[in-house]
Amino acid sequence: MTRSQKEKMLAGEMYNAADPEIQAELLLTGAWLKRYNDTLGDPAERWHALLSERLGTVGLGAAIRPPFHCDYGFNIRIGAWVYINFNCVILDVATVTIGDGTAIGPAVQIYTADHPHDPEQRQAGLQLGRPVSIGRNAWIGGGAIILPGVTIGDHAVIGAGSVVTRDVPAGCTAMGNPARVRVGGRLPPS
């Protein structure tokens, strides 16, 4: 039995994003985002109710300040008391998990969407996704970019403007482009 392009996307396999089922999901999310982003002056309880309509999981007290942008929403799982500031972009072709108590600064970008290195596969419209996981009580500074497949551990700190290309262990601080883990307040020797 052949799997649908959406099933392939959710499994982290190569898929064609131009598939009608995937395009229909993007349109549904676009309509939802329009409603959500019109709630900037509304209380956080209203945000929570709307987030619960589209996101995979929304923990108690979780809030995302509009404007917010994502591909699908249903691949995003945010824990209790997560706070995400203005202008967050989450490309969620694969699962994005954000643990309880994590705070995310403004203009953070979280990408699960990836593209094949082979130019013929890209030209054919093939894509793939790799999940991103952010642990509990992490702090992601404003303007940080988290690339596909990255895991950030519990209590980790990501400096503002950092580009996170590799996993960051629990309790560590990483910063820079590419982000590097600091040891005792200093960058480790190269």
Catalytic, out of 69, 115, 117, 155 = 115
155 tagged catalytic: no
Tell me if 36 sits within 8 A of 55, measured CB to CB. no
To 10 degrees, the CA torsion angle through 104, 135, 81, 53?
90
Strands 96-98 and 57-58: unpaired
**Rounded-to-integer distance, Cα 164 and Cα 112, Å:** 12
- Opening angle at CA 52, ends 48 and 53, nearest 5: 125
Tell me if 69 sits within 8 A of 91, measured CB to CB. no
User: Which residues sit opposite 78 in a β-bridge?
Assistant: 58, 98
Which residues are tagged catalytic? 115
